[in-house]
Structure 1
Amino acid sequence: MTSCLPNFIYQWIDFVARDYSFVTKFQVGVTSQGRPIYGLSIANGVGTAQKKVIYVDALIHCREWITTATTIWTFKEMLTKSEYSSMLDDYDWYFIPMINIDGYVHTWNGNRLWRKTLSATATSSCTGVDGNRNWDVNWGGDGASPRPCDLTYHGPFPHSEPEVRHLSYFIMENKDQIQVLLSVHSYSQLLLYPYNYDLITIADNDVQLHNISKAVCEAMYAVHQKTYTYGRGAETIYVASGVTMDWAHEAANIPISYTYELRDTGEYGFLLPADQIIPNGEEFLAGLVVLVQEAQNPVASGYRPNEA
């Protein structure tokens, strides 16, 4: 039974693509074990022919179940409730709810806290690569391990993992349309922006990223009074090289790029109870409403001062 778990997500994708004429199912690629990675393209035809896109992905770390559950709940709300129709009018969307599908199956069948992919390692008996250390931006730098048995193993070379490689192709093919990229993780209640790979490099639109994240976190707090901390990734969580967000901003030139870390702050961690899916989704959606509004404001260039 558990070997069919991704089918529930596949079925949801099929249902949405069937029920909404402006939603299209697409395949990004396949995992190392051959499972398809599907996404949804949401384009309602309102607005300009070259409407900008917001890209959202989840579950590159397979133990972070809440990321897929929260983002699916969020898009369900956006599609079914008229109060969110402007979000679909202002932007088109790409949504990839499950990246590390092999690992997700493993978290059900073997190790609930498995993090990495399940690719074979030629030089070690240890399996898998940390997909969020495998991107070709400062690959192999601080915060990523060269040791195959470590949780943060960066892989034998950049984009060695098919999950990462196929996503990079897809993002690059659509980079001129994608204005916002959101990679959703858990846990810690954080909203991070570039750069994660060192404490020195600062994004050219640092002020814009700072201002948007401040507004988003305030909106998230207003829902259930859960505090989300925001800031440059290296300062706010830790230095980590080869992450999605940094690659999207630096290599694909996507101006607004964030990593979300959803609930909680450690009480349950990766084992967040199911009764927190909807409250977490309500926070995420409230922040997303504000992000859509703020992203349309003129770009504020320059750098903010370091803050205590």
Structure 2
Amino acid sequence: MLIKMKNATREDKLEVRKRLPGEELEIIPFGQHEIIIAKLDRKRDEYSRDLQEQLSSAPAVEEVITISEPYQLTSRKLKPEGSVVDVDGVKVGDETPAVMAGPCSVENREQLLQTAEAVKKAGAEILRGGAFKPRTSPYSFQGLGEKGLELLQLARKKTGLKIVTELMDVEHRDLVAEYTDIIQIGSRNMKNYSLLKSIGKIDKPVMLKRGMASPVKDWLLAAEYVMSQGNHRVMLCERGIKTFGEDTRYTMDLSSIPLVKEKSHLPVIADPSHGTGRWELVIPMARAAVACGADGLLVEVHPEPKKALSDGPQSLKPEKFARMMKEIRQLNELDKMDDILREAASF
């Protein structure tokens, strides 16, 4: 059960506690509100109308919400209108899909700046690039580390693009947070609960990728770990899951996009690059993701994919990325027109 309070004093919170004697309560900041999570004993009738009325009448209580799912703060029942994550002026979850694009790995100054200029010109608002790279083989390129972060900062200064990069462990949290605008948690770390709780304690937008073998419920509970620590600026990213398919790197689970948007108020980003592993499939899957309701795209772009130190086969060349952006804009305009016509037909 969630108890939504605004401008609550210490006495107001004590009053709620009095009305739930013996129950474990947790108070979490949530925007302009505070949320009290009551971890009620399932044996009692926690959904009774009498209990809700008693709590609703307490001072400073705006709303009492009962949620049967194990995830509470990520549930759409808490925020039916949906969340918009503001990344220093770039709004993710708004009417227009936000596009994050750039190389899988930051390799050198020339490669990064060339790519940043290209994706900026095509209309991207956020530059992606890995400074610390989780790789299956210990002998593969692991990233430039802090030097890569410095190059990302340089690219931001020259282009005005916001930055998203991956955080792999708690040790580098403050370093990565200093340089980036969005902290990305990769698929392999979706269930790294210590890391999730750690980034929940800082005020920095987080993009949480779905684990490659994780059901939607576990994905939302991973986001719950971040939000339970006070950071509610969370985005989810569908990046493909492991199936028996052999022709693509992963299977892009497009059905998860509308499903998650039904279950959760958090914005959903689609990553068609990892979702397929093949550059020729990226554009059609990007179109499909936007048509499914994705709030943004995460796309890998490289000036010379064949020379990329990581994920070259799934990277678009700049000219193909520009084509994708044009098609996405056209699709979004059609979607807006459809909404206008639907609204007009309702009168």
Q: TM-score, normalised by structure 1?
A: 0.33
Q: Which has the higher contact order (CA 8 A, sep 6+)?
A: 1
Q: TM-score, normalised by structure 2?
A: 0.30
